[in-house]
């Protein structure tokens, strides 16, 4: 049966991509900017906020819990916070849509407030594991009842009954997850004493940077083995801020790879966030021979940023070091596309986390790439891909996107270097993180 509400879209062999584009704001930073502004006392101003569905779900939820959040006509967002400890009981369920970040971080906030919130989401989000945040938040005293998911997992819909005062915790992360780390730190904001997260493998540190920027007492100590101890003093008072959100490297990734693989391309992508905990893809693509030049490196809102000039390059397969995985965790789908066009073999390992993203990204990418004629072997924790050596892929298939924006955009890019069109069954999920993806692509093809 076909889904009447789906919007299929086909992508076919492209002329060289040329020109200059500015990508939208960083999704991770945008969520955090709204949440922390909503907890500060006074008015914060945010420019460059990503206006994708995921971030808008966070805005709606923070409003439901008492913050005033308005978008001005010039694109600036103004947020009046309620103060740490001041979140109000939401009247209805909080609809998180497709957004794992909204869900897990907001569960942390609710956990240490004297309120109860029900979290619901779409089919993709409702299949994702929530036990990873339920465990530490329950240890802090929150009472959480979740739905039973597949293979013993706990999923949405779920209800969090917060405890105030909550119990401070020292928590060692069992999975490399910035969302789990952030959920515990955000719960710690309204918890008396010191809440500590011990992070054996570094993940994106936007929460730490921004919490400090808002005036929280947060320290990071790195041990000799690289383990990070992040400590936050609770019952914090956050001071309102003016925030400029840098461009999202995870969105830039699709255009970086598109410019590398479409012959004749030469593209400048402005204002790309290059936080080292996010920039792993650029290192790997350079290792593969990608011509990516960083121009005018600078600081935007406490985050390193540069413009990137990317030119078509002959890529060579590599063994991707699993240690870089957290710094490019959302970029593997598009890296797999680059690998499918490279000369030789690319091997990836240590990617079990990709199976619990918006879709099972190892299985969905393997099946989709095979359908368009790439040589891919799916393993338990990674893919092995033998590339075409720069020749176009056969294409000529319809890909199921599984409500996963990054799957849709990865196959859109694959379509640009395929002999016959690649059709995405439903392009709508792209709007969760990159509403103007198609418009920017069309601009570079002119
Ligand atoms: C995010 C963390 C990552 C990433 C997600 C955004 C964040 O998830 O995949 O898109 O903003 O903290 P995990 O923490 O599950 O790795």
| 3-state secondary structure at position 93 | coil
| d(C-alpha 220, C-alpha 230), whole Å | 5
| CA torsion angle 85 87 93 97 (round to 10) | -90
Distance between CA atoms of 38 and 59, rounded to whole angstroms?
Answer: 9
What does the pLDDT look like over 391-432, one tens digit per residue?
999 999 999 999 999 999 999 999 999 999 999 999 999 999
Ligand 1 centre distance from Cα of residue 389 (Å): 32
In this prediction, residue 211 carries a pLDDT of 98
Is 330 part of the annotated catalytic residue set? yes
Count CA within 13 A, CB hemisphere, residue 239.
Answer: 6
Instruction: Identify the CA nearest to 241 among candidates 21, 97, 426, 42.
Output: 42
309 - beta bridge partners? 268, 293
Q: What is the pLDDT of residue 182?
A: 99
Does ligand 1 lie within 6 Å of residue 330's CB atom?
Answer: yes
Q: Which residues does residue 148 pair with via DSSP β-bridges, in sequence order?
A: 154
Instruction: Taking residues 135-161, report their average pLDDT.
Output: 98
> Which protein residue has the closest C-alpha to ligand 1 atom 11?
28
- Measured between alpha carbons, how far is 414 from 421 in angstroms, rounded to an integer? 9
Q: What is the pLDDT of residue 1?
A: 43
Closest-CA residue, ligand 1 atom 4, reads 330
The C-alpha atoms of residue 253 and residue 335 are separated, in whole angstroms, by: 9
Q: Could you give the strand order of the β-sheet that contains 77-80, starting from the edge strand earlier in sequence? A: 68-71, 77-80, 43-47, 242-244
287: tokens are 């290792």
Calculate helix-pair angle for 27-39, 100-111, nearest 10 degrees: 20
Tell whether ligand 1 has an atom less than 6 A from the beta carbon of residue 112. Answer: no
Which H or E element spans position 363? helix 361-371
pLDDT range class, residue 302, cuts 50, 70, 90? confident
Counting from 1 in the atom list of ligand 1, the atom nearest the Cα of 105 is: 12
| Residue in 98, 108, 153, 178 to alter for ligand 1 test, most ligand atoms within 8 A of Cβ | 178
pLDDT of 3 reads 60
Q: Alpha-carbon distance 328 to 278, whole Å?
A: 6
What Rg value do the Cα atoms of the chain yield, rounded? 21
pLDDT 10s digits, 95-131: 999 999 999 999 999 999 999 999 999 999 999 999 9
Which pairing describes strands 228-233 and 242-244: parallel, antiparallel, or unpaired? unpaired
CA of 16 to the centre of ligand 1 (A): 33
Compute the distance from residue 357 Cα to the ligand 1 centre, in Å.
9
301 — pLDDT class (breaks 50, 70, 90): confident
Distance, in Å, from the CA atom of 80 to the CA atom of 83, rounded to the nearest integer, reads: 9
- In the three-class reduction of DSSP (H, G, I as helix; E, B as strand; rest coil), residue 229 is classed as strand
> From atom 10 of ligand 1, which residue's Cα is the shortest distance away?
330
Q: Indicate which residue of 122, 307, 330, 426 is catalytic.
A: 330
The CA 393 to ligand 1 mean position distance, Å, reads 31
What percentage of the chain has pLDDT greater than the value 90?
98
Q: Measure 196 CA to ligand 1 centroid, in angstroms.
A: 19
Q: How many other CB atoms sit within 10 Å of the CB of residue 113? A: 26
Ligand 1, atom 15: closest residue by C-alpha? 177
Q: What percent of the chain has pLDDT over 70?
A: 99
DSSP symbol at 205: -
Q: What is the mean pLDDT of the chain?
A: 97
242-265: pLDDT as tens digits? 999 999 999 999 999 999 999 999
pLDDT exceeds cutoff 50 at 39: yes
Is 355 within 8 Å of 394 (Cβ atoms)?
no
Q: Tens of pLDDT along 307-341?
A: 999 999 999 999 999 999 999 999 999 999 999 99
Cα of 199 vs centre of ligand 1, distance in Å, is: 14
Task: Judge if the beta carbon of residue 204 lies within 6 A of ligand 1.
Answer: yes
Locate the ligand 1 atom nearest the alpha carbon of residue 207 and give its number: 12
Of 109, 183, 329, which is best to mutate to test ligand 1, by the most ligand atoms within 8 angstroms of its C-beta? 329
**DSSP single-letter state for residue 247:** B
236, 189 contact by CB (below 8 A): yes
């Amino acid at each position: 049966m076909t889904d009447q509400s789906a919007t299929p879209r086909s992508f076919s062999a492209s002329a060289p991509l040329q020109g200059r584009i500015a990508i939208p704001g960083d999704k991770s930073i945008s969520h955090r900017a709204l949440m922390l502004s909503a907890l500060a006392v006074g008015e914060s101003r945010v420019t460059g906020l990503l206006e994708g569905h995921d971030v808008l779900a966070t805005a709606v939820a923070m409003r439901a819990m008492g913050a005033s959040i308005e978008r001005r006509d010039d694109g600036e967002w103004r947020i009046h916070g309620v103060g740490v400890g001041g979140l109000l009981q939401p009247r209805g369920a909080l609809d998180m849509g497709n957004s794992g970040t909204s869900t897990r971080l907001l569960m942390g906030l609710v956990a240490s407030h004297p309120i109860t919130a029900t979290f619901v989401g779409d089919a993709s989000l409702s299949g994702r594991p929530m036990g990873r945040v339920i465990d530490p938040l329950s240890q802090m005293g929150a009472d959480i009842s979740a739905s039973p998911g597949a293979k013993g997992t706990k999923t949405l819909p779920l209800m969090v009954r917060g405890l105030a005062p909550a119990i401070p915790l020292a928590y060692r992360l069992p999975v490399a997850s910035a969302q789990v780390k952030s959920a515990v730190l955000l719960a710690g904001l309204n918890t008396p004493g010191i809440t500590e997260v011990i992070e054996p493998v570094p993940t994106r540190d936007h929460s730490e940077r921004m919490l400090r920027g808002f005036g929280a007492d947060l320290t990071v100590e790195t041990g000799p083995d690289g383990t990070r101890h992040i400590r936050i003093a609770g019952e914090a008072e956050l001071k309102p801020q003016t925030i400029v959100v840098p461009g999202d490297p995870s969105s830039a990734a699709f255009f970086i790879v598109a410019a590398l693989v479409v012959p004749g391309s030469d593209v400048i992508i402005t204002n790309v966030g290059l936080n080292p905990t996010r920039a792993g893809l650029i290192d790997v693509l350079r290792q593969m021979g990608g011509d990516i030049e960083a121009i005018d490196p600078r600081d935007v809102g406490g985050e390193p940023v540069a413009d990137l000039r990317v030119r078509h390059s002959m890529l060579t397969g590599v063994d991707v070091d699993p240690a870089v995985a957290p710094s490019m965790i959302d970029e593997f789908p598009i890296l797999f596309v680059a690998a499918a066009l490279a000369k030789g073999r690319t091997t990836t390992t240590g990617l079990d986390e990709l199976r619990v993203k918006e879709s099972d990204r190892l299985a969905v990418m393997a099946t989709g790439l095979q359908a368009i004629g790439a040589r891919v072997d799916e393993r338990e924790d990674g893919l092995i891909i033998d590339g075409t050596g720069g020749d176009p892929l056969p294409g000529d298939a319809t890909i199921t996107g599984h409500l996963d924006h990054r799957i849709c955009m990865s196959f859109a890019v694959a379509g640009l270097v395929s002999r016959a069109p690649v059709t995405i069954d439903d392009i709508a999920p792209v709007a969760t993180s990159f509403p103007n993806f198609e418009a920017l692509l069309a601009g570079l093809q002119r």
